[in-house]
Structure 1
Amino acid sequence: MSLKDQLSQLVYSTDQGRIEPEQQQETIPESDGFIKIRRETKGRKGKGVTCLSGFGLSETELKALSKEMKKLCGVGGSVKDYVIEIQGDQRDKLENWLQQKGYKTKRIGG
């Protein structure tokens, strides 16, 4: 085999175009009608966060709701696995705000 034959072998081709990854359907966890409010410190070096779950909303709707909550409390937060995490112990403030919005709430844990 000559050097020219070795260099002319097809290594990569774009004939088929881009391969699109398969889109998975978003599976939203079911809600039992109650928003669970709890305080967590595990895995956060002692810093507490308020976790809210059980909304039964999509990821984008949860992000919009968490934005309102963060603005209300004046703190940061995030949405992870359909759970809204708000920095600090904001249980009282968020529970009152959610009840005004028409949600039923339950406190989980101490």
Structure 2
Amino acid sequence: MDLKDQLKNLFPEHLEEDINDREEGSNIWIQDEPILCKYEKRKGKPITVLEGYTGATEDFKILAKDIKTTLSVGGSFKDDRIIIQGDYRDKIMEILKNKGFSVKRVGG
């Protein structure tokens, strides 16, 4: 008797879920505290910085890739922050709200 059979005996009403069938965005951990969306200028260029995510780093990287792909912009993930090139605060906040996150705009 392997581990799956033992688990079926312990929890007969549990349905098996295939992880590969889920959407990529649906397995991101949603937090209670808002993600902070800031606007900064570095070397004269505008950037948008997202910080305050308390979930797994891999989930935050997936979120960064999704935002960059949706907006067709460049950016990076450093020091638990997502840095997006350009001032896209309104669009990013709308994307995050559609995914179920609470977002707080910081600064101007």
Q: What range describes the TM-score normalised by the shorter chain of this pair?
A: 0.5 to 0.7
d(CA) in 2 for partners of 1:71, 1:77:
10
Q: Which residue pairs with 1:102 in the alignment? A: 100
Q: CA RMSD in A?
A: 1.3
Q: CA deviation at 1:100?
A: 0.8
1:82 counterpart (67, 80, 83)? 80
Give % identity. 45
Task: Specify every segment of 5 or more residues in structure 2 that has no aligned partner in the other structure, as ranges.
Answer: 1-30
Give the match for residue 19 of structure 2.
none
Higher relative helix content: 2
Find the structure with the greater CA-based Rg.
1
Write the distance in 2 (CA, Å) between the matches of 1:32 and 1:60.
18
Which structure 1 segments of 5+ residues have no match? 1-30
What is the number of equivalent residue pairs in this alignment?
78
d(CA) in 1 for partners of 2:59, 2:32: 18
Distance 1:74 1:66 in 2: 12
Question: Residue type of the partner of 2:51?
Answer: S
